[in-house]
């Protein structure tokens, strides 16, 4: 069922099994026979609140009489490699209904900062004595538990990685990706991340620093990124609602293959959200980062024009204010959504993707031990 990858570094699922509708067979078996050391305590933290800017109250929006967060929790709790599942919501009064629902269902509930979600994760992990954390957002009600198990199994098999993700090289539909990180990595990010986007979205600091954190990328064999099954926009809810209504049955656990099959067989449903910009929430949070540099995005610009504008603004600002930096702007004008890279050489920054812009004076690397020499990120072929 599992085989070693060519580098011998991790167990890789036999994806031929995914031709079956029941991809539960991909869940890890026999791991205890291979790992004799003390097993780390691994928990999922599901972040959820009602204050979404684009789909307000989406956590409790109902499909077939059940709130979306209930589907999320059902999917996560079906994973076999987890020790605990925690629902982490905010301490604001408007999120009392989320906490009350969790308590009524017998879920473990943690409440923390509304905007500093990284802080919420850190203290939730501390309270539950976790050694590693799987991050799940509360707007992904179709998350396949087999993918969660794939990520956790890989982490358990590796003694020297800090961060495992399926979207370092995206291939899965939006809403199916999973990432997790060691508690030591979460604590380092909690101590050093300072940008608003890094605090709100938990993992950007981890993803932007392969020099500090040892990455392991899990790459799905098919490119399914044309599909969206996360509820970021009203159109997404329509798609997810249709999938659940069409596939649901009592005790149902949804899996990737059947979701993809449904979308392929019903292209009119897939088209509803096909043209939406991915990760819009993260793009919007970058505006807070840019305010630290007195860069404002004009209101007349469309969302998909932001990256090019940001690239030019950062280049101009850095070129004008930093004599030691050489700024190179790379554009791809015929591919509007390809990331625009700004490379800042000198003593300011390394090369960054504009989706993960880092600004001078924030999260300074001098605070990290000078002797730290993490290995290069581990990439699957």
Residue with tokens 């290069």: 376
User: Sign of torsion, CA 162 167 171 174?
Assistant: positive
Q: How many whole angstroms separate alpha carbon 145 and alpha carbon 28?
A: 11
| pLDDT for res 316 | 60
| pLDDT for res 290 | 58
Alpha-carbon distances of 261 from 229, 246, 247, rounded to whole Å:
13, 12, 11
Domain map (residue ranges) of the chain? 2-217, 280-360
| pLDDT for res 311 | 58
| pLDDT for res 159 | 79
| pLDDT for res 258 | 96
| Class at the top of the CATH hierarchy for domain 2-217 | alpha beta
| pLDDT for res 353 | 37
Evaluate if pTM is beyond 0.75.
Answer: no
Using alpha carbons, select from 287, 290, 282 the residue that is nearest to residue 314: 290
Q: How many whole angstroms separate alpha carbon 131 and alpha carbon 236?
A: 34
Q: Which residues of the chain have pLDDT under 70?
A: 1-38, 54, 277-381
Give the sheet arrangement for strand 215-217, strand by strand: 108-112, 84-90, 42-47, 132-137, 179-182, 163-165, 215-217, 378-379
- Alpha helices, DSSP H, located in the chain: 31-34, 68-77, 96-104, 117-127, 145-157, 183-192, 196-200, 204-208, 234-247, 256-265, 267-270, 280-291, 306-321
DSSP bridge partners of 45: 86, 135
């Amino acid at each position: 069922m599992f085989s070693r990858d060519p580098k011998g570094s991790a167990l890789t699922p036999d994806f031929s099994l995914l031709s079956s509708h029941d991809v539960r067979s991909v869940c890890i078996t026999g791991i205890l026979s291979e790992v004799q050391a003390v097993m780390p305590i691994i928990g999922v933290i599901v972040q959820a609140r009602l204050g979404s800017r684009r789909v307000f109250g989406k956590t409790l929006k109902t499909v077939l009489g059940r709130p979306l967060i209930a589907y999320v929790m059902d999917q996560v709790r079906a994973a076999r490699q987890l020790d605990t599942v925690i629902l982490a919501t905010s301490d604001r009064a408007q999120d009392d209904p989320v906490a009350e629902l969790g308590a009524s269902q017998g879920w473990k509930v943690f409440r923390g900062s509304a905007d500093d979600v990284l802080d919420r994760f850190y203290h939730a992990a501390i309270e539950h004595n976790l050694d590693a954390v799987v991050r799940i957002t509360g707007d992904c009600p179709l998350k396949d538990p087999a993918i969660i198990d794939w990520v956790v199994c890989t982490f358990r098999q590796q003694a020297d990685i800090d961060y495992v993700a399926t979207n370092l090289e995206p291939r899965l539909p939006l809403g199916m990706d999973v990432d997790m990180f060691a508690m030591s990595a979460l604590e380092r990010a909690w101590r050093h991340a300072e940008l608003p986007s890094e605090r709100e979205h938990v993992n950007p600091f981890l993803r932007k620093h392969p020099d500090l954190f040892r990455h392991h990328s899990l790459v799905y064999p098919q490119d399914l990124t044309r599909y969206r099954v996360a509820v970021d926009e009203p159109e997404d809810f329509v798609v997810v609602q249709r999938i659940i209504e069409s596939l649901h049955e009592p005790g149902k656990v949804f899996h990737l293959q059947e979701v993809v099959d449904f979308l392929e067989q019903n292209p009119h449903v897939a088209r509803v959200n096909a043209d939406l910009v991915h990760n819009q929430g993260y793009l919007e949070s970058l505006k807070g980062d840019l305010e630290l540099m007195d860069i404002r995005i004009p209101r007349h610009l469309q969302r998909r024009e932001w990256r090019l504008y940001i690239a030019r603004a950062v280049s101009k600002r850095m070129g004008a204010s930093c004599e030691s930096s050489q700024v190179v702007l790379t554009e791809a004008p015929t591919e509007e959504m390809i990331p625009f890279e700004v490379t800042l050489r000198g003593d300011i920054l390394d090369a960054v993707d504009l989706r993960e812009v880092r600004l001078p004076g924030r999260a300074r690397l001098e605070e990290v031990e000078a002797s730290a020499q993490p290995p290069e990120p581990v990439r699957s072929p």
